[in-house]
Structure 1
Amino acid sequence: MALFIIRYGEVGLKSKAVRRRFENALRRNIAERFILQKLECRIELDWGRVYLWTDETDKAAEILRKTFGIVSFSRAIECSSDKQDICANAAALSKPLYKNGMSFRVKARRTGQHDYTSMELAKEAGSAVWLANEERGPSVNLTDPDLTVYIEVRQNRAYVFSEVVQGPGGMPLATQGRVLGYVNDGRGAAACWMMMKRGCKVIVATDNDDLIRKLRDWDPNIKVVDSVPISEVIDLARKFKVDGVVFGWSLDEFEYYQSQVGEMTLPIFHPLIGMGESDINELIGQFI
């Protein structure tokens, strides 16, 4: 089975108890998405990392790209923390990737006690990569190489990889409260996306099937209810006992729409209100 190393960001800033809850939520969210697609995987938690094994590498990468809480991930080779073992795997990883005249570098980092420093490991692994590709005319470029071989040593295990894929970041879904999102256009969907990124479970009030399909890419279990006139949104929110309501209004629209909503008896969130038109359109185009 192929191994993916998954990195998270804001989760690591929490207290130990909260961190454990967030890590478990992230693991649960990943596992649920695999189950929904009838894919098999194995997931393990370590301090600061999540490890995932699966045979479905392409589908796994697509799932991880759209799982909130993941900052980045890499498909990796796992080996022991023995320096020679690491160097051999770094060389083996580089060979199918290396083309004539390419430049490369090796970046190494460690956690735990070892009989070598990170710099020593990077130097020896770099020599191994050079020798493995000597006939291709390799060169070293430490600032902007064609290929980077990454080495991460954690206690008695090591991981070698060549690519770091960005995730959406944020916090895992369902680690914060529930909100009702009023979605009548792409702005409303973008506002919901931003609240989902902050860990909220969003109930979406809309009649737009296209926008729902796009939001389901990020939360396959998202709850959808029929849209209502804007004057009835607060009553709908009370019905579902949510913690707040989300709108996609810009600053120019705020005063007009607020007058139609009526009395604000719940917290109201406006994730887009401080964004410019071009930034909002970029967000919609990129994620919605």
Structure 2
Amino acid sequence: MVLLVRFGEIALKSRFVRRQLRDRLVANIQDLFAAEGVECITESDEARVYVHADHIEKARSILSRVFGVVSMSPATEVHADLASLRDAVVSEAAIALSPGATFALRTRRVGTHPFTSQDLARELGDQVRRANPESRVNLSRPDVEIHIEVRQNRGFVFREVWPGPGGLPLGSQGRGLAVVTDQAGMVAAWMGMKRGCRVAVATPPTGRMVDPLRRWDVRLKVLDLPPDGHLHELVKIARADAVFLGTRWSVFDPDTRGGLNVPVFEPIIGLTDDEVGHLASRIESA
């Protein structure tokens, strides 16, 4: 089985930039798998990354912490001919369909083939109905959706679509420094990381709020926050292009930020306390 990994914003870039971002995404996937001690084989094309792993649930957990991954699906891969696709879809339907359940086939096709997407849906749908005579098609609100994705000479059949964190690949957009002394600071750091920034964190020596961030960045750099809270030297040490703060409406001490020659961002400025708490729970539970 293969995990079909989708990315979002990367696809909007120029061909050259897209290739750079995709290579960074693949490298980050490999780094996180290696840190977890889980073996995987990766490959990619213009629109997908393919991750082959023996432990699908472990792979899912890891990929859910890779910035740039929009979603993923555990898929059965077959050759992109009607006979192979038919066998895979009928097998998937036999597992998923209970007597009387409704279903829909969602087809997507890239490349040149002797059939259209409509031909594919019609032919495979007929085969599923013959194998499951008590089931019927419902395209608007089906009990079961089966996806068929044909990419050149490769076919993929799957039912589940698992979300990823989205954003841009970590390390693709420069360096940053985040002050992490509480939950809000942790969320601000994470939001900077999600935009592709390699974020170093400054925290008190006894601070524990950075620990969840290590699961998102295996190369996380942690610096001791000085008692006076001044960031000038830390910005130099981290070679930061920006500072991320978990504050709202410039609550942060202006003396601390005074004289900084890099932009200062407050990513949570538009979030409620409940929204910050929800994001913090997501970060900590990943």
TM-score category (smaller protein):
over 0.9
Contact 1:171-1:197 within 8 A present in 2 as well: yes
Partner residue of 2:197 out of 177, 197, 200 = 200
The Cα shift of 1:231 comes to 3.9
User: Which AA in structure 1 matches 2:153?
Assistant: N
Alpha-carbon spacing, 1:287–1:45, altered in 2? closer, same or farther (3 Å): same
Once residues 194 and 223 of structure 1 are traced to their aligned partners in structure 2, the CA distance between those partners, rounded to angstroms, is 16
Contact 2:179-2:244 within 8 A present in 1 as well: yes
**Pair 1:240 & 2:238 matched:** yes
Which residue of structure 1 aligns with residue 39 of structure 2?
Answer: 40
The Cα shift of 1:176 comes to 0.8
Once residues 11 and 93 of structure 2 are traced to their aligned partners in structure 1, the CA distance between those partners, rounded to angstroms, is 31
Map 1:49-128 onto structure 2 (within 5 A). 49-128=48-127
Structure 1-normalised TM-score? 0.93
Map 1:173-188 onto structure 2 (within 5 A). 173-188=170-185
Contact 1:248-1:270 within 8 A present in 2 as well: yes
**Pair 1:272 & 2:268 matched:** yes
Once residues 103 and 36 of structure 1 are traced to their aligned partners in structure 2, the CA distance between those partners, rounded to angstroms, is 42
Q: What CA RMSD, in Å, does the superposition of the two structures yield over aligned residues?
A: 1.6
Which residue of structure 1 aligns with residue 215 of structure 2?
Answer: 217
The Cα shift of 1:153 comes to 0.7
Q: Which runs of 5+ in 1 are unaligned?
A: none
Contact 1:10-1:170 within 8 A present in 2 as well: yes
Q: Which runs of 5+ in 2 are unaligned?
A: none
Contact 1:72-1:165 within 8 A present in 2 as well: yes
Structure 2-normalised TM-score? 0.93
Which residue of structure 2 aligns with residue 190 of structure 1?
Answer: 187
Alpha-carbon spacing, 1:209–1:55, altered in 2? closer, same or farther (3 Å): farther
Map 1:144-159 onto structure 2 (within 5 A). 144-159=141-156
The Cα shift of 1:177 comes to 0.9
Task: Using the aligned pairs only, state the percent identity.
Answer: 38
Once residues 185 and 70 of structure 2 are traced to their aligned partners in structure 1, the CA distance between those partners, rounded to angstroms, is 24
Question: How many residues were matched structurally?
Answer: 283
Over 4 Å off, 4+ runs: none
Contact 2:180-2:210 within 8 A present in 1 as well: no
Partner residue of 2:227 out of 215, 226, 229 = 229
Q: Which moved more, 1:123-132 or 1:229-238?
A: 229-238
